[in-house]
Structure 1
Amino acid sequence: MKTEARKRARERLDERLAPLKPAERFRAPPKGWVRAVRDALGMSGVQLARRLSVQPPSVAALEASEESGAIQLKTLRRAAEALDCTLVYALVPNDTLEGAVRARARKIALRDLGRVSHTMKLEAQETPDGSTDERLETYIRDKVKERDLWDKP
């Protein structure tokens, strides 16, 4: 079953990413990681340029591009290696991946059930108010397909 396999994959990723939360702990220093590490090592821009086999103005441009958020990953990786560092790259979800899927399914169910409820009110066919959470869970289980969760904004 593909849905179960995806759920297990989400859970494994959630476990791997959990130690990276909160992501604010890894926010880049104001002038960027390259500049911060270079300064901490006591390495000049000229020395880093030599290690990268580039001209010194290229180091200034590299650091400026990191600071502005425009640096390319391959450039950042090269700089990390020149500083005897390892570039760590990850996308850290704001919630868990499983939580994001559940929230999206709930949003779709609320939207769809709201439309049905409105139409039934207009046609004077309103049903007695049962447990909203129960109705939502049933609707999600029976109607909301995981493959369709991200089709619409």
Structure 2
Amino acid sequence: MGIEAVVLKQYQNKVNQTLKQFGDYAMPSSEGWLKTVRKALGMSGSQLANRLGVTKGRVSQAESAELSGSATLKSMQSMAQAMDCRFLYAVIPKKEIENLIRDRAVLKAKEQIKAASTQMALEAQALSDEQLAFEVDRLASEIIEKMPSDLWNDE
């Protein structure tokens, strides 16, 4: 295993660890994290505003911005700190990285085999469904092994 493969595996392990730890966490849908934590602390919007040195309206605006997706990382960080909390930011995959890579490799393999298979059918040499499935799996494994730079290119 080369150094690039070792580094790639380290990245994959880090992301998978995050998935296992936080994968099912979701923002409280009706109010968002900022308002939920503020309320859990028993802190009013005015009290948080005083801690931040801003108006109560600015706190309300920040809480609304979180819900609409327009909050900045900086505002989330400062609001969290003012509530004696940490702000964490993460991009968490829906499933383990290896599975995402495998799914993509299978898709790429199917695209390649479909093109070849069409040509073979024209020459009356079409593969059976079982042979096609075997070739997709074989080619997907080869793609994963090589991890080509165009794996994520959409064609």
TM-score category (smaller protein): 0.7 to 0.9
Higher mean displacement: 8-17 or 49-58: 8-17
Tell me the alpha carbon deviations over residues 79-127 of structure 1, each in whole angstroms, 9 at most, x when there is no partner.
Answer: 0000111112111101111110111001110111011111111122335
C-alpha distance in 2 between matches for 1:89 and 1:129: 45
Check conservation: 2:109, 2:139, Cα contact below 8 A: yes
Task: State the shift of 1:30 in Å.
Answer: 1.1
Give the gaps of 5 or more residues in structure 2.
none
Task: State the shift of 1:131 in Å.
Answer: 3.7
Return the letter of the residue paired with 1:117. Answer: S
Match of 1:39 in 2: 39
Return the letter of the residue paired with 1:149. Answer: L
CA gap 1:86/1:97 in 2 versus in 1, 3 angstroms: same
The yes-or-no answer on 1:96 pairing with 2:108 is no
Match of 2:57 in 1: 57
Task: State the shift of 1:27 in Å.
Answer: 2.4
Tell me the alpha carbon deviations over residues 14-73 of structure 1, each in whole angstroms, 9 at most, x when there is no partner.
Answer: 134312122xx3322411221122222222222111100112211111111112221111
Task: State the shift of 1:129 in Å.
Answer: 6.1
C-alpha distance in 2 between matches for 1:59 and 1:130: 60
TM-score, with structure 1 as normaliser: 0.84
Match of 1:151 in 2: 153
C-alpha distance in 2 between matches for 1:54 and 1:112: 58
Higher mean displacement: 103-112 or 42-51: 42-51
TM-score, with structure 2 as normaliser: 0.83
Return the letter of the residue paired with 2:15. Answer: L
Match of 1:6 in 2: 8
C-alpha distance in 1 between matches for 2:135 and 2:59: 59
C-alpha distance in 2 between matches for 1:133 and 1:152: 22
Match of 2:83 in 1: 83
Match of 2:73 in 1: 73
What SS class does the counterpart of residue 136 from structure 2 fall into?
helix
RMSD of aligned residue pairs (Cα, Å): 2.2
Q: Give runs of ≥4 in structure 1 deviating > 4 Å.
A: 127-130, 141-145
